[in-house]
């Protein structure tokens, strides 16, 4: 008679393990698994920085736009056992009147942007997007500086729906920041420039 072997579930990653990572790695905990990524390359970092400046002035500071948002680089989001670090996130000030004085956020943002790279695209699309949907994030952008694309998603009935796809050097209006035009050409750099 064969004895049945019970499968032991894998040990869930802890926040202490995430904090202990070397500084050159970005750590996240997705459904109990510790995921690490290297610091971003120059095209990735440039796209993130320029996008943050382009939407931060009109939407956070109210310069040339409506204001009413907090736009934050690489916030650490804690959702139960999941710890995610999007490249950019935004909260409407009506939902989060003040930025909390702690190292992470427990309130889901209204918008996230993941700047995808060959090493992170699969994780961003397959692992993180469903978590953002479960948490009720209303808008998600996937920005690819190597392919020079911007995909805009809206959450409809707890499912992501593509509400815009843009490429190249287009000038676009993308929800939820469609009160201004974004020049995609400003987000791209060529390696070695």
Structure confidence at residue 9 (pLDDT): 64
- Give the mean model confidence (pLDDT) for residues 77-106: 96
Structure confidence at residue 162 (pLDDT): 98
Instruction: Name the one residue in this structure whose structure tokens are 């420039």.
Output: 193
d(CA 66, CA 128): 29
Structure confidence at residue 189 (pLDDT): 86
- 16: three-class secondary structure by DSSP: helix
pLDDT tens string 115-158: 999 989 999 999 999 999 999 999 999 999 999 999 999 999 99
Judge residue 47's burial from the number of C-beta atoms within 10 Å of its C-beta, 0-12 exposed, 13-18 middle, 19 or more buried: buried
15-19, 93-97, 176-180: which has the minimum mean pLDDT? 15-19
Sheet holding 33-38, edge to edge: 33-38, 25-30, 82-84, 77-79
Structure confidence at residue 22 (pLDDT): 93
pLDDT tens string 34-74: 999 988 889 999 999 999 999 999 999 999 889 999 999 99
The contacts of residue 120 (CB under 8 Å, 6+ apart) are 37, 114
Whether cis (ω within 30° of 0) applies to the bond prior to 27 is: no
Per-chain mean pLDDT for the chain: 92
The contacts of residue 70 (CB under 8 Å, 6+ apart) are 60, 90, 91, 93, 96, 99
According to DSSP, residue 105 is labeled: B
> Does pLDDT of 3 surpass 80?
no
Instruction: Name the one residue in this structure whose structure tokens are 């056992």.
Output: 81
Query: What proportion of the chain, given as a percentage, has pLDDT over 90?
Result: 85
């Amino acid at each position: 008679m064969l004895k049945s072997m019970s499968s032991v579930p894998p040990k869930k990653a802890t926040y202490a393990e995430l904090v202990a990572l070397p500084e050159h790695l970005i750590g996240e905990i997705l459904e109990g698994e510790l995921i690490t990524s290297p610091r971003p390359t120059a095209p990735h970092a440039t796209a993130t920085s320029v996008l943050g400046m382009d939407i931060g002035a009109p939407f956070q500071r109210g310069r040339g736009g409506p204001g009413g948002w907090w736009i934050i680089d690489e916030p650490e989001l804690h959702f139960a056992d999941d710890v995610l670090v999007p490249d950019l996130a935004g909260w409407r000030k009506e939902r989060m009147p003040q930025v909390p004085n702690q190292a992470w956020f427990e309130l889901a943002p209204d918008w996230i942007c993941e700047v995808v790279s060959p090493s992170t695209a699969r994780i961003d699309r397959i692992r993180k997007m469903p978590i953002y949907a479960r948490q009720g994030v209303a808008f998600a952008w996937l920005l690819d500086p190597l392919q020079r694309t911007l995909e805009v998603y809206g959450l409809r009935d707890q499912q992501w729906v593509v509400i815009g796809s843009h490429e190249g050097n287009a000038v676009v209006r993308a929800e939820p920041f469609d009160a201004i035009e974004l020049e995609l050409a400003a987000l791209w750099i060529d390696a070695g420039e």
